[in-house]
Structure 1
Amino acid sequence: MSEPARERFEIPQDMRSMAETSFKQARDAFEKFLSGAEAAAGSIEERGESMRAGARDLNARALGFAERNVEASLDYAESLIHAKDLSEIMRLHGEYVQAQMKALAEQASEMGQAVSRAAIDATKPKH
């Protein structure tokens, strides 16, 4: 696409309005899902006192990572809705992909360390 064609690209208002409505519904659904997941996690912890601290830590980390990743995706989608032209969409996409790759690498490292700690703690002899 030529540079002038990119500059003329505009998202129609009807499409923008529809995307904003869909975005709001997705965010509301995510918030309801998160509340339900937190309630379920709390219920499991109450019923299973024998659950190891390492497993609770891993669950909390995974839930936290999922929450942050979905929030980042929703924020990205919202920014796309408000993009003024194709070049801004391309810039936003590049920034999002780069930020998510960095976040996923950090999350994988953190989960690996937590799993190692939990495995070490689980194999320690009880006194």
Structure 2
Amino acid sequence: MMKTPEAFEVPTQVRDMAEKGVEQARKAFDEFVVAANDAAAKVEGSAETMRNGAADLNKKALSATEESVNASFDLATKLVKAKDLNEAMELQTAYVQSQMQRFGEVAREMGEAATKAAADATAKK
């Protein structure tokens, strides 16, 4: 004949320790989830800021390119109407000077925009 097993009782101290362990593990996990969500939000914010900064730089570059192409077409139109080689050389010289000046301005603007984008991304961290 089989004996019926006796009821097994977990001592109160062991049960209390196990409950505290589970509570501590749950609390630690909840804190981990909060920290992970915070980190993900910061990364997302920085990435969005960088995307916005890159989009601004792209717009500036596109605008500068469009300006330059339009200036080139203007020069071509003026050169076609030039009366002599002297006038053509003067037009070309004025064009090169204005393009070099504009290039310096664009480089400064692009540098400022890149610096701002990097500062904004860093500030979001």
TM-score range, shorter chain: 0.5 to 0.7
Q: Corresponding residue for 1:109?
A: 108
> For residues 118 and 105 of structure 1, do their structure 2 counterparts lie closer, same or farther at Cα, with a shift above 3 Å needed?
same
User: Given that residues 79 and 88 in structure 2 are in contact (C-alpha distance below 8 angstroms), is that contact kept between their aligned partners in structure 1?
Assistant: yes
1:124 matched to 2:123? yes
User: Given that residues 75 and 91 in structure 2 are in contact (C-alpha distance below 8 angstroms), is that contact kept between their aligned partners in structure 1?
Assistant: yes
Correspondence list, 1:15-26, <5 A: none
User: Given that residues 64 and 106 in structure 2 are in contact (C-alpha distance below 8 angstroms), is that contact kept between their aligned partners in structure 1?
Assistant: yes
**Residue deviations 1:32-63 (CA, integer Å, cap 9, x gap):** xxxxxxxxxxxxxxxxx897211111111010
- Mapped to 2, the partners of 1:60 and 1:112 lie a distance apart of 14
Provide the identity percentage: 53
- Mapped to 2, the partners of 1:98 and 1:125 lie a distance apart of 41
> For residues 51 and 124 of structure 1, do their structure 2 counterparts lie closer, same or farther at Cα, with a shift above 3 Å needed?
closer
What is the TM-score with the length of structure 2 in the denominator? 0.58
**Unaligned residue ranges in structure 2 (runs of 5+):** 1-47
- The structure that has the greater radius of gyration is 2
Correspondence list, 1:28-107, <5 A: 52-107=51-106
- Mapped to 1, the partners of 2:88 and 2:112 lie a distance apart of 36
- Mapped to 2, the partners of 1:122 and 1:72 lie a distance apart of 35
**Unaligned residue ranges in structure 1 (runs of 5+):** 1-48
- Mapped to 1, the partners of 2:49 and 2:118 lie a distance apart of 16
> For residues 89 and 58 of structure 1, do their structure 2 counterparts lie closer, same or farther at Cα, with a shift above 3 Å needed?
same
User: Given that residues 50 and 117 in structure 2 are in contact (C-alpha distance below 8 angstroms), is that contact kept between their aligned partners in structure 1?
Assistant: no
What is the TM-score with the length of structure 1 in the denominator? 0.57
1:78 is displaced (CA, Å) by 1.1
User: How many residue pairs end up in the alignment?
Assistant: 78
User: Given that residues 49 and 120 in structure 2 are in contact (C-alpha distance below 8 angstroms), is that contact kept between their aligned partners in structure 1?
Assistant: no
Give the superposed CA RMSD.
1.7
